[in-house]
Structures are given as structure tokens and as C-alpha cells.
Chain A
Amino acid sequence: MVGIVSYGAYVPYYRLKKDTVAQAFGKRADKGTRAVAYCDEDSFTMAAAAAMDAAVGQDLSDLKAVYFASASSPYREKQCAAEIVAVLGAREDLRTCDVGNSLRAGSAAMLSACDLLERSGGSALVTFSDCRLGAADGIFETDLGDGAAAFRLGTENIFARLDGSHSLSRNAIDQWRADDDLFLRNWDVRYAGSELYSPLVKAALKGFFAESGSQPSDFSKVVLYGHDDKTRFSVAAKLGFAPAQIVESMYPEIGNTGNAAAGLMLASALDSARAGDRILVITYGEGCDVLAFTVTDRAGSCRSRLQKCLARKNEDLSYGKYLKWKEMVICEPQKRPAQERSSLPDYYRNYQKNHHLQGCRCKVCGMAVFPPQRVCVHCHSIDTMEPYNFLDKKAHIRTFTIDGLSLSLDSPNFLVVVEFEGGGKMMSYLVDCKKEDIRVSMLVRPSLRKMFKANGVSTYFWKVVPADEEE
């Protein structure tokens, strides 16, 4: 028996109002918002955040595989799944795989993980993440969104059991992005809806129902991916589903998050699931994957950060900033020397510090220190250090400044000194916070971000974000 053991979600803090974009182009106001990854976030950082959410309180010692599924990986060549393993501090004798190029990457990865676990037992982590770009003043600019979801699959302590699945492949092209395209392209949506999406979903479900002997009314919740809500609901009705069965897409708030869309809908369905609920998941992209789950009596034992992410948001994002963060306008460089690339040997030497915010603690005097070092600052002992994890420590701001001078894609930088409870401190950037809310002593937690990109390499490290007392 294989199923979902735990799960996590991540939606970035910023929202771009469709109205803001309409105004920039002198067009009529439109309702709704979309989630926007901050200039230091990408599909990998969001996947890592969702993976960490799914891993909260979990023992990862039986992990057999980690997948990163995305149609918008930050790299053409360089795997992200291995980096997620490092961030989780998980064992390394496991399988890693990036799955890309399709909106079915997430479900394909999940099915592949389930097949592996059927054979090997243990658990696997699958992340669904996307950060796709639409050209300015186009439909995708406002309809796409950024986000990620993660699922830990396993053979024990199952939260939602996988009952069965069915897949269909059809080389139908309605959305695409060529090797040298920055922006997503598509064909006329009426053709795509009536000639591709509708018949393919129908055919896949027909196959699934025939194989499983189930019918639409057996499912309390249906996660149905579609490019937009109108098409989703019209096809759902044709297939015999009642609107109440269809899980809300969240598109009007966060936009269509690509691979993350079905993942976030599933996380949302699981957040409110009761034991015995049957959930159907349908993904679409060059065919369809259909997956059916039954929620076990562990319902309620796990909850993602999804609702927190939806509630904690900033809708004041200007269109100019959006364009700058997405590097869609050429801005005048600041009058500072250009950012130097990271030394990869040094980044690799500091593996545990960089990926896992690991510091050290002196075994002689107990002083906790970040970053790790060999001579104790307190008792001056040499080589008496043991690894010490700062990721799970409460952290507060000791002092701060709002630095309008240093290099940044989003000047000013909120530069802070973060002190950890139990000792140790680091200089960091506070992000996802309004400047008038910054206070000495405010509670923060680490968040993995892209410090900068130089020489084609994204340097990932930990910044801090405001935290709740309960975290």
C-alpha cells in the first residue's frame, strides 16, 4: 500500500493586482490577483520551502527518492532535486530526479515515486513547483502565478492512500515554450479547450473509471487541473461532476501555478479532508494522469502552510517592481561594483552551512556559533566543535537598518542582525516584510532564497522572514 504521508505548500508573499497591470497599459480594470515570487525566489526555492513544510516533524531516515517537478527549473542543466536533499539534510543514498517540460511533470513524478515505493518500501518526496513567465501586456502575465507543493509518499503512516491511477498520452500542443523562448506561448484557447482538453480529460477518465469500476459520484473532492476556471467547470459538468465536488483552483487569488496548481489544490483538499474521503486528481499536459486517493483515519494529523500563505500577503506590488524582479526591463545599474560570482569550491566546502544553516557548538564551553569554525570564540579551545542546527532555533532581530545603498534587485535591503535562542547569530536580510513593521526583537525564521545570480550560478542561502509565535 502506497500513499501520501505528509504534504506541504508554498505561495509567495507578493500579489500583483490585475488592475495594476491594466492601469499600466491604460486598460479597463480587472478583478483578481496573482502570486509573484520575490526577486530572490524561483521554482527551486519555492519547492524547497514546500518540501520543508512537508518534512515538519517527519523522520526522513527511510527516504528513498526525491523528485523536483517543474516546467520552469532555474537551470537547463543542473539538477534541483539533489539540492532539495541537501536542504532537508536527508540521507544521500537515494534516488534523485528532476522531471520537467510538461504540466504533467508533477503527477508523472508522483506516479514514478509510487511505483518505486511499491517495490522498495520506505518513502519519497515529490515537489511540484512553477514560476512561469508571461510576456508583458499578455494574458499569461496576469493569469499565471508562482507557487509550489510537496508530498511525502510512503508505505506506512499513510494519510491518503493511492487507490489507483490511469494515464493517457497524446501529442497535442496547445501551450509551449521553445528552448530559446523566455515567455509561454499558446494557441487559440477555444481550440485548446474544445478539441484537446475536453476530449483528453474525458478519455482518460473513461479509462480510469473502466479500470477501477468507480464513477464520478464516488468522489467527494475532485482536483481538476485546467488552464482556467471556466474551462475546468464546463468540462467537469460534461463529465458528470457537480460543482461542489470540484476543488477550488485559487486561480483568482494566486493565478495558475502550472505544475503547482494541482499540487496546491490537492494540499487544499487534504487540509480539510475527513477519514474516508475519496479524492480524484486529474492533471493535463500532452495527455492526462488520473490518480485516486482515499483519506485514512489519520485525517487531521497533517496540515500544510497553504492557508497561512494565502492569508499573509502584500497586494501593493507595483508593475514597475514586478517587471524589474522578473528582469523584464533593463534598469540602470546601481553605482556600485558588479556582484562577484561565488567561488564554487568555497560554496561546496561550506555544504552544511549553506544548505542546512548548520553551525557548531563547542563541546567544552557550550557556546553555539554561526557560521561553523574551528577555534571557539568563547573558551578558545581548538577543534572541540560539534555540528549544531540553527534551522529549528527561535530567532529574533537584534538590530536593523534599511540599506538603500548596497546592490539589490529591490533596493532598499532590510539588513538585520539575527540572534538565535540558545546562542549564535548571523547577519541576514529580512524579506517579505513591510519596512514600517520592522522592530528590534521581532521574531523571524530562516527562509532559503537566491542571494544573487552571477556567472549563471544561483547562490542560494538563508534570509529571514517574519514568523508567528506558534512557529
Chain B
Amino acid sequence: MGSIKDKVSIIGMGCSKFGERFDASREDLVLEAVMEALEDSGLKMKDIEAFWFGSFYEQHGTSLSSILKPDFKPVTRVENNCCSGADALRNAAFGIASGEYDVVMAIGLDKLKDNGFSGNPLFNLYRDNTEPSFGGPASFSLLVPAYAEKYNVSYEDMREAMVHVSYKNHYNGALNPKALYRKEIPLDKIRKSPMVCEPYLTIMDCSGVSDGAACAILTSTEKAKKFRNDPMYIKSAEIVASSGVGMYETSYDYTTILETEAAARVAYQKAGITNPSEQLDLVELHDCFSITEIVLYEALGLSTRGQGWRDALEGKFSLEGSLPVNVDGGLKAMGHPVGASGIRMVYESWLQFHGKAGKRQLENPRTGLAHCLGGKPWNNVSSVTIVGCDLG
């Protein structure tokens, strides 16, 4: 198997403010991110040779071209559930690695708050609709009774660990001017938040819903020096879809994410990471719900099995902990404009590597990981993107 490690560089990034952007159209969101990236890289729109457009709800590539008006350039709309942004970045990287283009853009966008519903809208697939109908909160809350039972965690301990995950991500979000929620929430307020999926999941265990866009400009590492002397290198960009095991086999026990394990295995191998807790300096992971974050600590190899809840309580992943997770506030405080999130996560490494992360700036981070998960715990697509500011 080949590898794109260090072959592709990011030379500019931008990210809109995430939030309930009733003030901004889709056009406004796209331009907010794109103009920041162009300014950052010193490039002009005409320098971009091709676009990969990651979105869950936008319909076509022309949704983007009608906004940016590139001069008859290719625009590929990428849909891969919550990994749409990550997959746009991955395919843009392949566009560079193939040698076909010199400079390309990956951009993610979704605008969710204009639909008048709570949560995310559903698609009608013209099926027989005999399956139960439920959303993200219900599907991820199914992880909790299974996890608590398997590892013999008491109800109180389980709840408290989940409370601490939400607390941490809100704490971080309060330090991020681009976050949807920019307020620290007291532990006790989180504890007392109303249930949405009993017996474990409260409203404060759910990530936010927001509008947003994020983008990255890519070139080959060979040519990167021409644009700037501090590019960010792509170490690996892996994406894995369900094997069906979690969906159909009783061997899957609802305490992990098999697809994430598989994506991380390959991504670590290609990036040369053997001890992720030691070798990674920051991790942005798909904390759609607090329980997801706990299970992902284990699936990504950041916690040992059955210890994720304890690590959450002990602060291993806080800003001051040994491995900060969701430094920008995560989906919890940023919200989750589906197609934008994968690129937003990489943007945090970009800011951190360039010392631009303000009050949440880490000390000399060199390697970052971004993880997305689209679908249900037992049937999803997972992506792991690893970036670094050093070659090799």
C-alpha cells in the first residue's frame, strides 16, 4: 500500500465563525472561510485549479461554483456523511499527489439552522420505512448501557464522566471566538440538565447545531516553499466505511466504533505513529455526544479499554492534560455544520502550529489528529486525518 505522507502540504486555511448564523447566507459563510484562506496564503481565486466541496445537505458542485464563480474549473461535490469535509480534503490531497494540479482547494459547508427543526434533517430514500426512525441522540445513547454493563461502571460514575466531557469542551469553546457557544458551563448545571434519551443522555450531552464553512488550500510539499516557509504537512488521510459487522453480527457489543478503530490503525501506520498518546499533541475528535467522545478515546487508542470514562474524570484530555482533546471546543461548543467539521478540525492544528490559537494556545504542538464519524455507532464512515508541522 502506498502513502501520501508528507507529499501534500496545506498552505492556507480559513474558517467562518460557527453559530446560529441567521445573519449569514450560504454565500456569506463560504466567502468568510475562502477569503481568510486566500489572504492567509497570499493566493488569488484564479490560482485555484480545482475544488473539492464537502457537504452533507448541499446538492451539487454548482452550489459552490455559483458562489465562487471559478473560471470553468472542476468542482467536485463530496458527500460522505459527517466525514464529507474530511473526504473533500483527502480527495483534494490526491488531486495534488497525482500531479494533475498544482494548487487546489478543499471546502466544507453546511447550513442547518434555516430549516426550522431541532437536530439534523433526515433524507427520504424512498424505502419501505419499516426501520425505527430515530436521530443521533438515540443511536449514540445506545452505547451507554452496553458500555456501563461491560465495564461495570455505576450509573453515577458514568453520568459524571459524561458531564466532565461536556464541561471540558464548553470550557475550551469559551476560549474560541469562532465557537457557537463561548461560555463556560458550571458542572452542576450540566449535571442537572434535562434528559432527552433516558436513562443517560441529557441535552448537555449533545453537541450543538450550527452553520459554518471551512477551507484549506493545498499544494505539493515540493512547491509549498514557493508560497510559505511554514506549511502544514499531511501525514495520512484515511477513511473507512462500515463492514456490516456492527449492523448484522451479534459479535459487535456497542462499546466501541469498529470503523474508527480500522481508520486509526491504517492512519497511525502510515504516519509512523506507534504510541498515539505520546506522539500526538492535540486531537480533534467527533464528540457528537459526550458518550461518543469517551468511546472514541478507546477506539483511537488514547485510553485503554474500559478506562476512557476514568481518563475523562481525571482530566487527561483537558487543556492542561497530557493530551488535549477538542481544544477548539469540539462539536459540543462549535456545533456541527456537517460538511464543514472535518476541515474545521484540521484548522485547529493550523492555528496551533502557527501560534494563532489565542487563549487556548498549546505549548509547541507538532502533530495533530482530526477524526470524524458519520452515521451510527454500528454502521458508519470514520475518518482519521493526521497533520504535522515537521517533515518526516
A residues whose Cβ falls under 8 Å from a Cβ of B: 335-337, 339-343, 346-347, 349-350, 353-354, 367, 369-370, 373, 375, 377-378, 398-407, 412-413, 415, 417, 419, 423-425, 427-429, 435, 440, 451-452, 459, 461
Contact = CB atoms under 8 A, between A and B. Distances in A.
Interface residues of B, number: 44
B72 interface: no
Contacts of B197: 401-405, 412
A399 B142 contact: yes
B243 interface: yes
- The secondary structure that dominates the B interface is loop
A390 B139 CA distance: 23
Contacts of A429: 132
Contacts of B133: 339, 406-407, 452
A337 B248 contact: no
A412 B243 contact: no
B142 A369 contact: no
B122 interface: yes
B156 to A, nearest CB: 18
Nearest to A412: B198
B201 A417 contact: no
A125 to B, nearest CB: 24
B137 to A, nearest CB: 5
Contact of B117 (A335, A349, A425): A335
B128 A403 contact: no
Contacts of A378: 249
A404 B129 contact: no
Given A369-B248, A377-B243, A405-B196, A415 B134 contact: yes
Contacts of B128: 342-343, 346-347, 349-350, 354, 459
A298 B104 CA distance: 82
A219 B200 CA distance: 59
Instruction: Select the residue from A336, A354, A375, A405 with max chain B CB neighbours within 10 A.
Output: A405
Contacts of B139: 415
Nearest to A407: B133
Instruction: Select the residue from B122, B142, B195, B250 with max chain A CB neighbours within 10 A.
Output: B250
A413 B145 contact: no
Contacts of B250: 398, 419, 423-425
29 contacts: A336-B119, A342-B130, A343-B128, A347-B128, A349-B128, A367-B248, A369-B248, A377-B243, A377-B249, A378-B249, A399-B143, A401-B138, A401-B141, A401-B197, A402-B197, A402-B199, A404-B196, A405-B118, A405-B134, A405-B196, A406-B133, A413-B132, A415-B134, A417-B254, A424-B248, A435-B198, A440-B145, A452-B133, A459-B128
B245 A405 contact: no
Nearest to B254: A399
Top 5 A-B residue pairs of the complex, sorted by shortest distance between their CB atoms? A403-B138, A402-B198, A461-B130, A347-B128, A401-B141
A379 to B, nearest CB: 11
Interface string B178-201: 000000000000000001111111
B99 interface: no
Interface string B102-135: 0000000000000011110110101111111111
A242 B121 CA distance: 65
Given A412-B198, A423-B250, A459 B130 contact: yes
A336 B122 CA distance: 9
Contacts of A336: 117-119, 135
Given A405-B137, A415-B138, A425-B250, A398 B146 contact: yes
Contact of A399 (B130, B134, B146, B248): B146
Contacts of B358: none
